[in-house]
Structure 1
Amino acid sequence: MELPRLLTVQCARRYGLTVRQFRAPRFRRLSHGVYLSGPEAATLTERAAAALLALPKDAVITGVTALWMHGVEIGSPMPIRAATGTGGRTVREGIRLARVRRLPESHRRLARPAPAWLAANAELDLVQSVAAADRLIRLGRVSQSELVAGADAWSGRGCLLARRAARLTRSGVDSPRESTLRLLMVLAGLPEPRCNPMIGTRDAPIGHFDLVLDDYRVVVEYDGDHHRTDPLQWSRDIARHEAAAAAGYAVIRVTNGRMAHPREIAATVHARLAERGYQGPEPDFTREWQALFERRTFEW
């Protein structure tokens, strides 16, 4: 008989198994009384399902773990975050269980995107929160108006952060790095760019660019590793940047290595803006800005 991937001790007899047999190498314990069969490593979905088998029947996967399951890889999905309205003491290895008065709206015991993001704000910082929200919007899971309304009505842990982050999120953002670059500029007091607009004319389009400051014809592009390792992408990028420069745009390119020097990026953007008539103040590197961009290592 072919065994399912997840097995509980309670259902062992149905498959002709004894509890002692679960000690064999073919089984791995995922949670209290829940085992994985087969040589393949457990997926996040399987780990979440195993956690639910060990938790109260009303438990829901939420927070950062739920974000990962919705396609938003911010922070670490482990331990499994879950919420329950059931009282009593439940401690399970690899599970972080919150007891709540009201369970988040869910589907098949997985919190829906907006409430999952709201719950995640209890452990994310501002940059991570905005990057996660930007990604949810890009994937078509939520709209900014939904996040703003949800954050305004929410009073759980991280609610103040959620309200601020919801208003900083934008549509059209392709990656967490783009979210980070945009916030690096905006939170330093520089003008806010448009995200991934097409520049050029209808008859002669140049292409989409990550961040564009239209009034000053300045473009800020994040060049990920795939831009460098894919010869075709690299050639296209060169052609786009040359066309933008020919059209009068100043193009600032930011690599992964350059992200380690955020002040230099902000200063460069300000310098290009000033050359083109910007009269606003120089970047303001507040304590919050320093904590968000200088005192951490981004995992994306």
Structure 2
Amino acid sequence: MPDTSPPLPGPFLRAEAKNLGVSDRRLRSPDFRTVFTGVVVDARIPDTVVVRSRAAMLVCPEGGVLSHWTAARLWGGVVSDNEWIHVAFMRDVRFRVSGVKPHRFRHRLDIRFRHGLPVTSPAQTFCHLARHLGLIDLVALGDRLVKKGRCTPDDLIAYAHNWPGQCRDEALTAARLVRMGVDSVPESALRLLIVLAGLPEPEVNIRLRDVDGNVRFRIELGYEDARLAIEYDGRWHEEPAQRAHDAERRSGLSERDGWTFVIVTADDLYGLPEQLLERIRSTMQSLGIPVPTVLSDDWRRHFRVDTAAA
């Protein structure tokens, strides 16, 4: 017979099962799953970073603070996959739990609370990850934290400027490239590709208004004075309804308001960045935007070039 009782509210120590009214037999049944050694959770509760973080805190020594990739996700940031739950301490600790990664720091941890859990602050999380993430991913994280309202670009710059930990220069460089209003990781990467190549930095989230001041359209990246829009079309733009909407919107802005569009796909950005840069540069030049004769090669350290397609 299926279990119709309400699920227990969260992870708990296996040793506490009887106190919670869970028998050994039921604990061994499919009704529960193991999160970490000694920690179980009702199988009906989804496997999320919040659930795994709560489970980790049950087995961590006192003073643990969720950090790094885990803190980034708890704050709503987008970071590369990492299977660990990361916990930071301001003292030496010795414990080993499969799936939990301890970090030991001499500097003071900047502690906030998220979902009732102790977490390193958004700015400190950003600086901690400067040691582990490349420039593109770190700026994309900063863009997302700002978009979520966790901090401002100025907050990140100020924190990185005074950062006592490792990779201060990397954190400060990335913080100075974080912008407000960025909607996605590819949009962050596209903006940085342009900037690192030495082209003028595009404006983010340009809002086109009608005579009454209402926003009619929004341009992800572009140059409003020259009426040049550079837009990233993700996979969902391939849906017929979305494709028709995009075509109608862009056609109207081109014919009525004189906007020029450079449309960028994942294949362009992540496979053929050199050809994409040349397309952007030549379009800028045709619209009278000053561009360098020779592009900088700084972008090459951060973007893969598909030599077979070049």
What TM-score do you get using the length of structure 2 for normalisation?
0.85
Q: Would the aligned equivalents of 1:206 and 1:243 in 2 still touch at CA under 8 Å?
A: no
Deviations 1:247-270 (CA, angstroms, capped at 9, x unpaired): 222210012232221111111010
Provide the aligned length of Structure 1 versus Structure 2.
294
Q: Offset of 1:170 from its aligned partner?
A: 0.7
Q: Would the aligned equivalents of 2:61 and 2:93 in 1 still touch at CA under 8 Å?
A: no
1:36 aligns with 2:36: no
- In structure 2, the CA distance between the partners of 1:230 and 1:113, relative to structure 1 (3 Å rule), is farther
Deviations 1:102-143 (CA, angstroms, capped at 9, x unpaired): 222221312232222222222111111111111111111111
Match of 2:112? 106
Correspondence for 2:95 among 82, 90, 107:
90
Moved more, 7-16 or 169-178: 7-16
Match of 1:10? 15
Correspondence for 1:289 among 292, 299, 306:
299
Q: Would the aligned equivalents of 2:33 and 2:40 in 1 still touch at CA under 8 Å?
A: yes
RMSD: 2.5
Q: Which amino acid aligns with 1:65?
A: T
Q: Offset of 1:17 from its aligned partner?
A: 5.2
Q: Would the aligned equivalents of 2:66 and 2:120 in 1 still touch at CA under 8 Å?
A: yes
Find the aligned partners of 1:173 and 1:199 in 2 and give their Cα distance.
16
1:170 aligns with 2:176: no
- In structure 2, the CA distance between the partners of 1:20 and 1:59, relative to structure 1 (3 Å rule), is farther
Identical residues among aligned pairs (%)? 31
Q: Offset of 1:293 from its aligned partner?
A: 1.2
Moved more, 218-227 or 277-286: 277-286
Find the aligned partners of 1:200 and 1:242 in 2 and give their Cα distance.
17
Q: Would the aligned equivalents of 1:191 and 1:213 in 2 still touch at CA under 8 Å?
A: no
1:211 aligns with 2:221: yes
Match of 2:258? 248
Q: Which secondary structure state, in structure 1, belongs to the residue aligned with residue 47 of structure 2?
A: coil
Q: Which amino acid aligns with 1:234?
A: R
Moved more, 2-11 or 131-140: 2-11
Correspondence for 1:193 among 202, 206, 213:
202
Q: Offset of 1:276 from its aligned partner?
A: 2.1
Find the aligned partners of 2:22 and 2:260 in 1 and give their Cα distance.
68
Q: Which secondary structure state, in structure 2, belongs to the residue aligned with residue 293 of structure 1?
A: coil
Q: Which amino acid aligns with 1:275?
A: S
1:156 aligns with 2:193: no
Match of 2:282? 271
What TM-score do you get using the length of structure 1 for normalisation?
0.88
Find the aligned partners of 1:136 and 1:110 in 2 and give their Cα distance.
14
Structure 1: which 4+ aligned runs deviate by more than 6 Å?
18-21
- In structure 2, the CA distance between the partners of 1:95 and 1:16, relative to structure 1 (3 Å rule), is same
Q: Offset of 1:292 from its aligned partner?
A: 1.1
